[in-house]
Amino acid sequence: MDRRQRKTRSAIFDAFTKLLSEKSYSNITVQEIIDEADISRSTFYSHFETKDELLREMSNDIFAHVFSDHPAKEKSHDFSRADYDLKEEITHILYHLQDNSRYLSRILSCESGEMFMRYFKEYLEKIFRDELKKIKTDIPTEYLLNHMVCDFAETVRWWMKNDKFSPEDISRFFFSATPFD
């Protein structure tokens, strides 16, 4: 990738992040991003088609990192110590999220988080779906899945607003308020 491209992309990401910390996503205009990044109008549009596209790519960049070394699920079908595995993985993810907290807390704060959360939940669904198969209950699986995903996503969002807790704390909070405990 061209050095100029990298610089521009980075300038746009920084500008966007800064703006997200000040106002809600929907109230940010492309014009403001352009001004803040100090680039040309046509340059912005040569990188991203729309503002939504920008958020999507920025989210993917972050999650690609957070979920990068997500352990191969195929191997761990040993249901006996299933619970332990999940807790470990959750804590693991929380550590990665903490690394990105400078970005994340800005993105998730204020009123801007919803779009981002949507992408986040897509990843979480994959993790929780398998886990749910081990639970015996008469509650609909789809309800529980939605419950777990939203629950964890909200926990992270809350964490980013109250960042005085460790990943282990948050993991404990999460599992103590969930039927998986």
User: Rounded to a whole number, what is the largest CA-CA distance in the chain?
Assistant: 58
Subset of residues 66 to 125 that bind a copy of itself, contact rule: CB under 8 A = 111, 114, 118
Q: What amino acid occupies position 177?
A: A
92 binds DNA (CB under 7 A): no
136 binds a copy of itself (CB under 8 A): no
Name which position in 14, 22, 40, 81 contacts DNA (CB under 7 A). Answer: 40
Return d(Cα 17, Cα 26) in angstroms, integer. Answer: 13
- Judging by beta carbons within 10 Å of its beta carbon (0-12, 13-18, 19+), is residue 77 exposed, middle or buried? exposed
Q: Is 1 helix (H, G, I), strand (E, B) or coil?
A: coil
154 binds a copy of itself (CB under 8 A): yes
Subset of residues 157 to 176 that bind a copy of itself, contact rule: CB under 8 A = 158, 162, 172-173, 176
26 binds DNA (CB under 7 A): no
Q: Which residues contact 155 (CB under 8 A, 6 or more apart)?
A: 170, 173, 174
Structure-block tokens of residue 52? 């939504």
Binding partner of residue 26 among a copy of itself, DNA, none, CB under 5 to 8 Å per kind? a copy of itself
Q: Closer to a copy of itself at the Cβ: 123 or 158?
A: 158
Structure-block tokens of residue 57? 């790519």
Q: Which helix (H) or strand (E) holds 45?
A: helix 41-47
142 binds a copy of itself (CB under 8 A): yes
CB atoms within 10 A of CB 123: 17
From 39-47, 81-89, 90-98, 100-108, span contacting DNA (CB under 7 A): 39-47
143 binds a copy of itself (CB under 8 A): yes
Q: Closer to DNA at the Cβ: 26 or 137?
A: 26
Return d(Cα 37, Cα 75) in angstroms, integer. Answer: 45
Interface positions with DNA (CB under 7 A):
2-5, 7-8, 29-32, 38-43, 45-47, 49-51
Which positions touch a copy of itself (CB under 8 A)?
A: 26, 111, 114, 118, 137, 139-140, 142-144, 146-147, 150-151, 154-155, 158, 162, 172-173, 176-179
